[in-house]
Structure 1
C-alpha cells in the first residue's frame, strides 16, 4: 500500500515538473514572441521614421528648389525691366540726338543769315538811289547785281523775305511800330513795310517792322 502511494506521489511530482517545464517553455515562447513582436514593431516604426524623414528631406529639397526658381524668376524680371528701361532711354536719346542734328542741319545758316541781313538792307537802300548820270546808273546796276546774287544764294538755303504789304497784321511775323487810321482800309492791315522781315524755312529770323491801320 505504501509503495503504491509513493508511486502515485512520484507520478504526481513528475507531472507537476512536466507541467512546470511546459509552462516555463510556453512562457519562454510567449516572451520570445513578445520580443519578436516588439522588435518587429520597432523595425516598422524605424522604417516609418526613415520614410518620413526621406519624404521630409525630399519635400525640403523641392521647396528649396522652388524658392530658388522663384528667386531666379524675380531676378530675371528685374534684369528684363532694367534692359527695357535702358533700351527705351537709349532709343529716346538717339531720337533726341537725331532731332537735334536735323534741327542743326535745317537751320545751320541762321547765324550767317542774321548777320548778312543788314548788308541786304544797305544794298536795297543803294539800289533805291536815283542816279542822274550814266556812271551812277551803272554803279546802281552793279549793286543790284550783287544784291540779286546774295538774294538767290539765301533763297537756295531757305531764307526768304516776308510778304506783308496789304496783308492782315500777324504778331508772329510782324512788329507794329506805327498805327494809322486810313479811310477805306479796315483795321489790322499792314500799310507800309518799314524794314523787311525774313524767314528761314519755317522759322522767323527777323520780324517785319510795319505800319498798321487802326
Structure 2
C-alpha cells in the first residue's frame, strides 16, 4: 500500500507540473490577448472611418437632392422664358395694328396686318416644334383625334375623318391637343 506521505508528495508534484504548464502558456495567452486587443482597436478605427464616410456621403446626397429640387423649380418657373421672348414681337405687332386701325379706321389694312401677324405667330410656334395636324381624309385614330360626331358619307368609307371641327397640334413628337373631328359612319 501506498502511504499517505507518498500520496501527498505525488499531489504536490502534480500541482507543480500544472503550475509550470500554466506558466508556459501565460506568455502565449498574453501575446494572443494583446493581438486581439490590437485587432479590436483596428476594427474599431475602421468602423469609425466607415461611419464618417457614410455620414459625408449622406450629407453630399442630401445637398445634391436639395440642389436638384431647386434647379427643377427654377427650370419650371423660367421654362417659358425663351418662347415668351420670341412672342413679344408678335404682341408688339398686334399693338401697332390695333393702334393704326383705331386712328385710320381702315379695316382692310387691319385685316392684312392681322394676317401677317398670324403668320409670324405660326412661324414662331413652328420653330419651337409645334405642328398642326392634317386630319381630313385620314383614318380615325383615337391617339390623335377626338370624335365628336359620326356622319353618313358617300365619299368616304367608314372610320375616315370627314371634317375637322377644331385643329389638333403636335409638339415635337407628342400630341399637345387632339383634333376634334367628324367621322364617317
TM-score, length-scaled by structure 1? 0.50
Alignment partners' CA distance in 2, 1:210 and 1:172: 13
Residues 1:153 and 2:128 aligned together: no
State how 1:66-85 maps to structure 2 within 5 Å: 66-73=39-46
State how 1:174-189 maps to structure 2 within 5 Å: 174-189=145-160
Are the structure 2 counterparts of residues 142 and 200 from structure 1 closer, same or farther at C-alpha, using a change threshold of 3 Å? same
State how 1:1-214 maps to structure 2 within 5 Å: 50-73=23-46, 93=65, 100=72, 104=76, 108=80, 138-214=109-185
How many residues matched? 149
How far apart are 1:49 and its partner, in Å?
A: 5.0
How far apart are 1:193 and its partner, in Å?
A: 0.7
Q: In terms of Rg, which structure is larger?
A: 1
Task: Look up the SS of the partner of 2:37 in the other structure.
Answer: helix
Of 71-80 and 182-191, more deviation after overlay is shown by 71-80
Task: Look up the SS of the partner of 1:147 in the other structure.
Answer: helix
How far apart are 1:206 and its partner, in Å?
A: 2.3
Are the structure 2 counterparts of residues 210 and 45 from structure 1 closer, same or farther at C-alpha, using a change threshold of 3 Å? closer
Contiguous gaps of at least 5 residues in structure 2: 1-15, 85-105
TM-score, length-scaled by structure 2? 0.56
Alignment partners' CA distance in 1, 2:76 and 2:170: 16
